[in-house]
Amino acid sequence: MVTLKELAKLLNVSVSTVSKALSDSSEIGENTKRRVTELANELNYKPNRIAQQLKTSKTKVVGVVVPSLMNPFFAEVVHGIETTLENHNYDMMVCISNESLEKEQRSFDLLSTGSVDGFIVAVARETQTNHSIKHFENVGRTTPIVMFDRVLNDVACSKVVVDDFETVYQATKYLIEEENRKHLLLISNIEELSVGKQRIKGYAKAIEEANLKSSVLKLDDEINPDELILEHLKKNLNIDAIISIDHITGIMALNMVKKIDKKVPDDISVIGFDYVDSKFVSSPKISVVNQKGFKIGETSAKLLLDELNSKSRVKHKTIMVKSLLSLNGTTQNK
């Protein structure tokens, strides 16, 4: 690795001259600047980022801590984060909590000691159920944190949330009012998450307002969720609309409906949650709530960058990213 020192020696100038010349300082003569930059290019000099980071105590790195990357929603958010950071010349260190509190804590511990300028996090399931917030509070004192999707209300930091309640409320209302559905079923495999609870509440409200009967099928950690859905459908042949609040059970339900010889969307409408491939793996293309993962990532990153680049301590913001009801082939779309 070529260093400033070596350049300086080769050019017979001091290290500080080289440093200044390369940062195009007005203190340095044009001639010298040219000589320096030419040699630097020739030897392919690149400043050592670690040394810069130590000196300036800025890393230009953001720590991203998510429960999983195999959940397409998080993958999409991370993609949005990456794109935004990249545009502002930031890098990211990704840690996967695997829904484990301990791992999340370790990641925060490790990265908070100089490695990153700030954090973007979706809290682990375990953190959410245990209500452990110490690691956030400790780090948060010195390092900005932005939470998205899975958010802890009692941690003081900026947040990017999804209008889970409203979204599912609207979707349910659509099925009831526009499609005149009377016997709705909600399917959930994320019942214990805050977002899941919100979504179920949105459903419940719409159902209640219409004076219908609420019906919820919970599938947490089942081995054969599809069979449970099928059974449920067989036992409740009057079901005329299904709303799934995760990215997978909607498609599953769609497949099961076909098995009981009902037509989608004529006999039964299905609304699921979007993910990158949902359009491709379902037939007819499933109608979905599009959560705008990319936008959420983008928004989170921008929020964090704002905090990082303002010297004065900024007030914490909470931004809501609206979901979009995207009606495709499994609803009637009148």
Partner DNA sequence: AAGATAATGGTAACACTTAAAGAGCTTGCA
Partner DNA sequence: TGCAAGCTCTTTAAGTGTTACCATTATCTT
Window 56 to 85, contacts with DNA (CB under 7 A): 56-57
Residue 108 CB, shortest distance to DNA, in Å, is 17
Which one of DNA, its own copies, none is in contact with 27 (Cβ closer than 5 to 8 A by kind)?
A: DNA
Window 134 to 163, contacts with its own copies (CB under 8 A): 138, 142
Among 28, 36, 111, 217, interactor with its own copies by CB under 8 A: 111
Residue 180 CB, shortest distance to its own copies, in Å, is 28
Cβ closest to DNA, residue 55 vs residue 263 = 55
CA proximity to 228, closest of 71, 236, 247, 172 = 236
Distance CA 248, CA 80 (A): 22
Residues in the chain: 334
List of long-range contacts for 31-39, beta carbons under 8 Å, 24+ apart: 35/11, 36/7, 36/11, 39/7, 39/10, 39/11
Distance CA 308, CA 108 (A): 17
Cβ closest to DNA, residue 1 vs residue 223 = 1
Which one of DNA, its own copies, none is in contact with 226 (Cβ closer than 5 to 8 A by kind)?
A: its own copies
Among 41, 44, 211, 238, interactor with its own copies by CB under 8 A: 44
CA proximity to 156, closest of 137, 138, 130 = 137
Does the protein bind its own copies through residue 329 (CB under 8 A)? no
* Alpha helices, H only, 63-185: 72-87, 101-111, 125-130, 134-142, 164-173
110 Cβ neighbours under 8 A, 6+ residues apart: none
Distance CA 90, CA 93 (A): 10
Window 238 to 297, contacts with its own copies (CB under 8 A): 248, 251-252, 255-256, 258-259, 276-277, 280-283
Residues binding DNA (CB under 7 A): 1, 3-5, 12-17, 19-20, 22-23, 27-32, 45, 47-48, 51-52, 54-57
